[in-house]
Structure formats: C-alpha cells, structure tokens
Amino acid sequence: MFLTSKDIFAIQHLIFERQHPLYVSEYQALITKANKILSSEPPSIAGNESPNGKNYFFTESPYCGWFTFWGLYGHSCRDGQVNPKANREDYIQLRRMGVESVVLSLAYRLSGKPAYKLKLFQFLESWIVNPESRMAPQYTTQQSHIEISASNIALFYGLSLIAAELQKNPPLNQAAQDWLQGWANSIDSWRSDNNFEDWRLLCRLAIFSLLDDQQQFTTTITAVKARLTQAISEEGRLVHELSRTKSLSYSLYALKAMLLSAEIAYHHGVDLYHVKDERGVGLETALLHHASFLLHNKKTWPFKQISELKKQEVALYELAHTRYKNEAFAQVIIEWERPFQEIRALQYISLTHSAVEEKGHKMPE
C-alpha cells in the first residue's frame, strides 16, 4: 500500500550502513515505542457496550454533549471544541490498534526481530478473531464514519507490511481476509460531502488493494479522480471544509486523505499525483495553495481557525515533497523542521517517506 520491499531495503541502508542521523534517530524512536508495546495488553472495544452489541464500535461526538441551560442558552454541540466528558473509549482503542499495528509491523520489517511480528499477531487475534474482544467490521453511527475510516487506514497499512508473514499463518490470514471483506461490504453504506468522503475513498482503496480486487480498486480510482473536482476549487481550496471553526486544520485533514489515496495508487502504477481535470486543477493545486499559508512569510488564512496548527497537521508535506520535488514543499519541511509524525496512517513519515537531498542543497538532518 505505502511501502515496497525495495523501499524497506533503502531505509535499512540509510539506517545501518550510511547511518544517516535523521533515519537513525527516527528508527531508534520507533524501536523504543515498539519495545514498550511488547509488554502491553491487546486493544479491545468489547468493554464499552454499544447499542448494537459489545463487538460493535460506539463513540460519542467529541464536539457535542455540552451543557445547555434548559435548552435556552448555549449549544450542545460546539464545532472544534472537544468535550472531555464524551464517551470516547472505543475510539481510543481503535486509534491504539491502528498506531501500534504500524509501529510493530515497521519495527519487524526494519529490524527482522520476530518478537514484533508475534506481538502484532497477538493483537490481530484479539481484534479480529476472539469473539470476546473482536471489533465487528461494520460502520455504526454517523460519528463512526470518520473515526473508523481515519483510524482503520493505519491498521490496513500494518497488514500490508506483514502480508507475506500472514500467509504463513493460514487461519489468521483467512480471518483477516474475511474481516477485510466485512469492511468491503460496509464501506458503501454511507456517503458524505466533506472530509468524511475523502477518508472513505482512501479506506476503499486500501481494502480492495489488500483483497486484490482489481475491479473495485479501479472503480475507486475513478471515484477519487471525480472527488478532486468536487472538493477542490479552481484556486485550490477544499470547499467543503471552509465553514468549520478550524477550517485550515480540516482542509489539511481532507488533503491528507487525498494524498494517501494518491500514494496507494502510485504503488499500483496509477498516477493520481499529476491528474488534472478540465480546469487544470489537481492534487498539486491544493497542496500549493495551502503551502502558501504555512510558511513564515505566509499569507493570512482568510477563514475561521480557532486554534494554532500543530506540526503533525503539516506532516503530509513530507510525502508531498518526496513525490513532487517542489521547492515550496521543501520550504514547508525546512520551516516546520523534521522529524514529522503523521498520526493517522504513516506515523514515522520522516523515516519512511522523506526525500533527504534535493536540488543541490542538503535537507535538514
């Protein structure tokens, strides 16, 4: 999906032979986190009872449930303001499963140590197989649409990294294939206009990539191309995110899903990075537009943004620079400073998807 065996070999070369400081330090950070996971219990959502049953995902909206005075004063939902009392336990466990799957699978592929693979297999047995702890592969509430999509993509990435090892364990491999087919059956149960749809299409690509369903994969590629036209304005704005209270954050969030879709397509020999519609608009149009608001001499973002941007929200430009070799994207990386953590799918993005040297000057180490 996001890395080939050739990519893994190149990263190992930079760590163990060239001992490039950026790669060595990020690899050490990865291994430190993986070692902590080795002593942890597998994630589970079964302890947080869902209206549909213990194995089904349930979470409350992070922005709703606020106190109102008899319904006359105040708003129960406040966009962009997280309610600390919201029931978020299933989401916490789902996020953990995704993130730790990537950490363990990357640690195994780069180090070759079986302990990381075996721990991930234990997690998969709990999350996919065990009836007392498994997560049913089905979308539930409206909130689940985005939270499952934006979290599952990390687990799908982890599965792709250990696909060859899973095949040596036929019962677990078959369970994983059946579980993925469950998501394939559920992924079209809803649609959206905003970033939810970008993450849904990304998950659809990932699922049918892992299931090796070429027909459905090709159908999704066509949908992603159409989505670029629907979601990106002529100047490069993400039109469905501009009414949010954190419109720049959500624009980058939607853009990240589009970029990751392009990366999956890239590994299947399909170039979504340079596709343009009849207006001459494509993914690069949106990336360039938003980059202009991320530099030190940046323009003022003209829409509502109630919080400061976090470094993790800018991490997508690490991958963007690698694929486009664009000087504006290099400047974003330099000004926000490596290393980057991409918290949805790629995690250690500066370790796995960075371009080290470009255009005659050395990128920061």
Question: How would residue 79 be classed by pLDDT, with cut points 50, 70 and 90?
Answer: confident
Question: How would residue 47 be classed by pLDDT, with cut points 50, 70 and 90?
Answer: confident
Phi-psi region at 99: left, alpha or beta (left = phi > 0; alpha = psi -120 to 50): alpha
Q: Report yes or no: 217 and 205 within 8 Å, Cβ to Cβ.
A: yes
pLDDT digits (tens, 9 = 90+) for 286-337: 999 999 999 877 789 999 999 999 999 999 999 999 999 999 999 999 999 9
| Residue 363 within a domain | no
Report the CATH number at residue 124.
1.50.10.100
Q: What is the DSSP string of 69-94?
A: BTTTBS-SB-TT---TTS--HHHHHH
Q: What is the DSSP letter of 187?
A: T
pLDDT of residue 46: 79
Q: What is the DSSP string of 332-362?
A: HHHHH-S---BTTTTBSHHHHS---EETTEE
Q: What is the token pair recorded at 199?
A: 């993450």
pLDDT of residue 356: 64
Amino acid residing at 217: F
Tell which residue, 157, 46, 150, has the closest CA to residue 100: 157
Length of the chain: 365
CB atoms within 10 A of CB 4: 10
| Residue 61 within a domain | yes
User: Is the Cα dihedral 196, 198, 199, 203 positive or negative?
Assistant: positive
pLDDT of residue 73: 58
pLDDT digits (tens, 9 = 90+) for 18-36: 999 999 999 999 999 999 9
Q: Report yes or no: 292 and 326 within 8 Å, Cβ to Cβ.
A: no
| Residue 249 within a domain | no
- State the alpha helices, DSSP H only, in the chain: 5-12, 21-37, 89-111, 114-124, 142-161, 163-166, 170-186, 195-210, 214-231, 247-266, 283-291, 311-314, 316-324, 327-336, 349-352
pLDDT of residue 365: 39
Q: Determine the Cα–Cα distance for residues 335 and 364; give it in Å rounded to an integer.
A: 10
| Residue 214 within a domain | no
| Residue 154 within a domain | yes
Backbone angles phi, psi at 238, to 5 degrees: -90, 95
CB atoms within 10 A of CB 93: 23
Secondary structure class of 326 (helix, strand, coil): coil
| Residue 304 within a domain | no
Number of structural domains found in the chain:
1
Q: Determine the Cα–Cα distance for residues 197 and 170; give it in Å rounded to an integer.
A: 34
Whether pLDDT at 361 is above 50: no
Q: What is the DSSP string of 191-209?
A: --SSHHHHHHHHHHHHHHH
pLDDT digits (tens, 9 = 90+) for 181-204: 999 999 999 999 999 999 999 999
| Residue 267 within a domain | no
pTM as predicted:
0.94
pLDDT of residue 72: 54
| Residue 102 within a domain | yes
Q: Determine the Cα–Cα distance for residues 185 and 78; give it in Å rounded to an integer.
A: 33
Write out the residue range of the structural domain in which residue 178 sits: 38-189
